[in-house]
Amino acid sequence: MALEDALKIRELAIQHNKYFEESIPLIASENVMSPLAREMLLTDLGSRYAEGLPGKRYYQGNQFVDQIEILTTELAKKLFNTNYVDVRPISGTNANQAVVFALTNPGDIITTIPLASGAHISSAKFGTVGFRGLNPIPLPFDHEIMNIDVDLASKVIKIVKPKLALFGQSVFLFPTPLKELSDALQEANSFVWYDGAHVLGLIAGKRFQDPLREGAHVVSGSTHKTLPGPQRGIILGNPKDEEMWEKIQRAVFPGVISNHHLNTMAALGITLAEHLEFGEAYADQVIKNAKRLAETMHSLGFKVLGEKVGFTSSHTILIDVKEYGGGRKIAEDLEKANIVLNMNLLPYDDQSKPRNPSGIRIGTQEATRIGMKESEMDYIAELIKKVAIAKKKPEDVKKEVVEFKKNFKTVKYCFHDNFEAYKYIKLI
Ligand code: DSN
């Protein structure tokens, strides 16, 4: 019986793989790893413990782990151009927990982006921010430009003087106006925190903004969205002083993690090395694809948000599908056609009804990673139109999707073409 269950789980995982092989991946927070990075997940590293920092561990057996961690940290320093890097958080939310623990006390005021304007759940009252007992004050967001309203936000910051000012979203269409807000933030003497989870790969590819040079004291992020690495987190710093960085590192360990999942750390190291080599070309194409998809969908009749400001400067686009049945209905119909994306609250939606929003969110980073370019974006827009507007049977559109996807089965922008992967690692 137990064996049957074990084999059932294995079989379901195989089916999952096949489903994604035959699908168009458009979730803005996901990506695929390179073969070389993926290989790391199967190594013995995933069975071991390493607490603390290299050279100062609490376990024996870490001689190679230490070298991997040092190299991964050095690669991140180079890629993000900072001397302050912590590669130990095991997810983006985990990195956010460490930042909040290090820089605030219960009762402190934190400014945030409103949830319906695209903020991440960890910045909400019922997320990490609330669990720390912080007092979140949302900053005014201008939905015409899908960005912070600088004048109003500056006034709010000067009045409430947040201990911590949190920027960054999960619907991250345009760079945050950090420079424009810097006078107000300095006057308030706030710690400036930029959650770059969604756009880390674009930042590293030098195609978005450079938050550490624009006023952020700390940048947190996950490493598996536009940065196409393992499911993991990272913290980067331009701290006010050494004490601030020490607090952050102590909040990481022993604050919010003990062991930091050594196999995914090695996969991150490889991803960072690949991004140093291919990141700029990849980020370039991700953004070109997002702009093209937005323009084509708009020309096909979809209501794409941010029209006045060119729809997007990132990997993400946001579409109002209320008139075609709403975000949930369209996302579910598209799923049946093997087009995978998610429903999303729109800025003007009722925040208390996240399960029935008007919008869908689309990300182009994973499609780009497997080799899709502008002409494929046009085709994807047509496929979405068939399901959402023309109301063709999703099962019929699925046949077209499966056929189309046969041409996109390998990961690009990585070393797999010119590196003899799998040769050097004895897996067990
Ligand atoms: N929930 C993720 C997203 O989809 O944006 C972020 O963690």
The pLDDT tens digits of the residues spanning 169-207 come to 999 999 999 999 999 999 999 999 999 999 999 999 999
| 29 in contact with ligand 1, CB cutoff 6 A | yes
Listing DSSP states for 393-425 in one string gives -HHHHHHHHHHHHTT--S--SSGGGTS-TTSS-
| 122 in contact with ligand 1, CB cutoff 6 A | no
Mutation test of ligand 1: which of 115, 121, 170 has the most ligand atoms closer than 8 Å to its C-beta? 170
pLDDT at 217 over 60: yes
pLDDT tens digits for range 119-132 = 998 888 889 999 99
User: Which 3 state secondary structure label does DSSP give 23?
Assistant: coil
| 315 in contact with ligand 1, CB cutoff 6 A | no
Distance 210 CA to ligand 1 centre (A): 21
| 111 in contact with ligand 1, CB cutoff 6 A | no
Distance 427 CA to ligand 1 centre (A): 32
| 112 in contact with ligand 1, CB cutoff 6 A | no
Listing DSSP states for 231-255 in one string gives S-EEEEE--SSHHHHHHHHHIIIII
ω before 254 within 30° of 0 (cis)?
yes
| 92 in contact with ligand 1, CB cutoff 6 A | yes
- Rounded to two decimals, the pTM is 0.96
User: Which 3 state secondary structure label does DSSP give 304?
Assistant: strand
The reported pLDDT for the residue numbered 306 is 97
**Which of 108-117, 189-198, 223-232 comes out lowest in average pLDDT?**
108-117
- Report which ligand 1 atom has the smallest distance to the Cα of 27: 4
Which neighbouring-strand residues pair with 85? 236
* Cβ neighbours of 82 (radius 10 Å): 16
